[in-house]
């Protein structure tokens, strides 16, 4: 009996010494982990879901190539939510309780992030997410959510309004037409832009909110065209972004400036539907392939190597998803752990570098630091930063050229 105890003690001592042995002693690799994500592979957000998956997969390749997340090899597990607010909740519930994934990353859109974040928070998981930045994401007292974009969604068009108001008085638009989906991502930013411009004395020529499930956008676009406004601000996703532009072309309505909240930032998914008529269309964006932010060159070159195409084809959604991985990697290194409670506590402090630039998070998970969202404009077949001048690679094209 005594001999057994001595043997066990020696073995335990050996293991302890091995564990404390520093770099000269080989350590057992940490167990592989699975990271769960609900992705929209069908329904309204399926295009964005596909881009999100590309970004997450690319980050998983990178992190595994450098030895894993804190030594844990990463496997991504995706489940389809069909763009449904019910299914996304079921998906995260299953990922956490049935699949017992180590970490979860966010889905696409505020619409899906809001219900998903409630269930994720209930299980004490950190919820870094790339695409849910509407006001309702942050006003429910959750401490586990982190929106990995340069600014909260409602501020997305602030740069654009600043630019409009900075134009010389003779060039400043006298009237603006607004139309937006009743979506928690699009409407808050359009409403904020409207209030800022109205406060500065810019007349509202048209304002209407339309249901997100609208399929025929032509009557709304006709009204915008009929308003003959100098500037047009649209709260869109990709299908309506394309539909509005096409109706304006059909109606020979060419305002001095057009900005759409989403769509023009989707690379070739946008340009292959409008061709040369993308020229001059703007979008608020925190990322472009040409940005000099942390790791962006590597991200762009690896993306093209893995998925083909050219830099202009890359969707901002993919960059945002990749940024989620970057933030989690740095937080895990800082915390020395992938434990969710430690990650949540760590993410509320410090600054994290991403391909979208540096960012930090306040107590509600809202991005801080005043990095802001820039203005991107299609010029000569590429979407490039045009405002503010600190990041611009070209002057804004104003007024926009005629349709072709």
Partner 1 sequence: MTLVLEAAVLGVLTGGVYALMASGLTLIFGVMRIINVGHGALVVLGAYLSFAASRSLGLDPFATLVITMPVMFLLGVLLQTVFIRPLKTDREALSVLVTYAIALGIEGLLGYFFTANYRQLHAWYDTASFPVGDFRVTYVYLFGFVLCLAILGAMFLFLYRTTFGASIRATMLNRTAAQLIGIDVDRVAAVAFGIGMATAAAGGVVFGITNAFNPGSHYDLISRLLTIIVLGGLGSLRGAVIAALIMLVSEDITSVVISPVWASFTFFVILIAVLIVRPQGLYGVRVRERL
Query: According to CB under 8 A, which residues from 280 to 299 bind partner 1?
Result: none
DSSP state of 59: H
Q: How far is the CB of 101 from partner 1 (least distance, A)?
A: 23
Q: How far apart are CA 187 and CA 184, in angstroms?
A: 6
- Using CB under 8 A as the binding rule, whether residue 313 contacts partner 1 is answered as no
Which one of residues 2, 252, 308, 390 is an interface residue with partner 1 (CB under 8 A)? 252
DSSP labels for 99-111? S--SEEE--SSHH
Stretch that binds partner 1, among 23-31, 92-100, 202-210, 339-347 (CB under 8 A): 202-210
> CB neighbours (10 Å) of residue 287?
29
Check residue 308 for interaction with partner 1 (CB under 8 A): no
Does residue 47 touch partner 1 according to CB under 8 A? yes
Q: Is 309 helix (H, G, I), strand (E, B) or coil?
A: coil
Q: Which is nearer to partner 1, 212 or 347 (CB)?
A: 212
Among the listed residues 30, 165, 167, 249, the single contact to partner 1 using CB under 8 A: 249
Looking at the Cβ atoms of 253 and 352, the one nearer to partner 1 is 253
226 binds partner 1 (CB under 8 A): yes
Q: In what order do the strands lie in the sheet with 367-368?
A: 352-354, 357-361, 367-368
Largest CA distance in the chain: 96
CB contact at 8 A, 70 and 336: yes
Q: How many residues bind partner 1 (CB under 8 A)?
A: 40
Options 14, 29, 124, 219; binder of partner 1; rule CB under 8 A: 219
Rounded Cα–Cα distance for residues 309 and 15 (Å): 51
236 counts as binding partner 1 under rule CB under 8 A = no
- Smallest distance from the beta carbon of 379 to partner 1, in angstroms? 20
166 is an interface residue for partner 1 by CB under 8 A: no
Which residues have C-beta within 8 Å of that of residue 353, sequence separation ≥ 6? 293, 294, 295, 326, 330
User: Which span (55-63, 86-94, 163-171, 220-228) binds partner 1, by CB under 8 A?
Assistant: 220-228
Q: Check binding of 238 to partner 1 (CB under 8 A).
A: yes
Q: To the nearest whole angstrom, how small is the minimum distance from the Cβ of residue 54 to partner 1?
A: 11
Alpha helices by DSSP H, listed for 171-314, are: 186-199, 218-227, 238-250, 268-274, 296-307
Candidates 74, 81, 83, 271; binder of partner 1 (CB under 8 A) is 83
Q: Which of 267, 376, 374 is nearest to 317 (CA)?
A: 267
As measured in angstroms, the least distance from the Cβ of 211 to partner 1 is 6
Number of other residues whose CB lies within 10 A of the CB of residue 22: 6
What are the beta bridge partners of residue 396?
Answer: none
* Cβ proximity to partner 1, 12 vs 276, nearer residue: 276
Q: Any contact of residue 390 with partner 1 (CB under 8 A)?
A: no
Within 26-152, where are the H helices?
46-65, 85-97, 110-122, 135-138
Chain positions contacting partner 1, by CB under 8 A: 40-44, 46-47, 49-50, 82-83, 182, 208-211, 213-216, 218-220, 222-223, 226, 238-239, 242-243, 246, 249-252, 269, 273, 275, 277, 403
């Amino acid at each position: 009996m005594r001999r057994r105890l001595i043997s066990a003690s020696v073995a335990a001592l050996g293991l302890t010494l091995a564990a404390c042995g520093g770099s000269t002693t080989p350590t057992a690799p940490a167990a592989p982990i699975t990271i769960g994500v609900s992705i929209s592979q069908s329904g309204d957000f399926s295009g964005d879901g596909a881009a999100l998956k590309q970004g997450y997969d690319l980050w998983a390749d990178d992190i595994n190539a450098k030895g894993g997340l804190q030594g844990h090899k990463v496997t991504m597990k995706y489940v389809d939510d069909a763009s449904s607010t019910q299914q996304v909740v079921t998906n995260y519930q299953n990922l956490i309780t049935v699949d017992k994934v180590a970490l979860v990353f966010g889905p696409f859109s505020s619409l899906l992030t809001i219900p998903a974040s409630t269930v994720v928070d209930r299980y004490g998981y950190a919820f870094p997410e790339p695409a849910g930045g509407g006001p309702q994401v942050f006003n429910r007292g959750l401490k586990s959510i982190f929106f990995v974009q340069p600014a909260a969604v409602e501020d997305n068009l602030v740069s654009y309004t600043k630019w409009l108001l900075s134009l010389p008085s003779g060039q400043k638009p006298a009237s603006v037409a607004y139309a937006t989906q009743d979506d928690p991502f699009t409407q808050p930013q359009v409403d904020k832009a409207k209030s800022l411009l109205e406060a500065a004395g810019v007349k509202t020529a048209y304002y209407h909110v339309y249901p997100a499930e609208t399929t025929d956008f032509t009557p709304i676009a006709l009204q915008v065209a009929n308003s003959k406004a100098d500037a047009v601000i649209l709260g869109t996703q990709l299908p309506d972004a394309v539909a509005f532009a096409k109706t304006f072309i059909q109606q020979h309505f060419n305002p001095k400036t057009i900005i759409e909240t989403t769509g023009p930032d989707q690379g070739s998914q946008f340009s292959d539907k409008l061709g040369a008529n993308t020229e001059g269309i703007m979008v608020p964006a925190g990322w472009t392939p040409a940005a000099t932010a942390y790791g962006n060159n590597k991200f762009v070159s690896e993306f093209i190597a893995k998925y083909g195409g050219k830099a202009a084809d890359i969707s901002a959604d993919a960059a945002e998803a990749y940024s989620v991985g970057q933030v989690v990697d740095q937080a895990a290194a800082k915390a020395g752990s992938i434990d969710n409670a430690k990650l949540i506590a760590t993410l509320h402090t410090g600054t994290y570098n991403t391909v979208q630039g540096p960012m930090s998070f306040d107590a509600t998970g809202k991005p801080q630091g005043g990095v802001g969202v820039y203005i991107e404009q299609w010029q000569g077949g590429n979407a490039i930063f045009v405002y503010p001048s600190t990041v611009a690679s070209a002057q804004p094209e104003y007024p926009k050229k005629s349709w072709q």
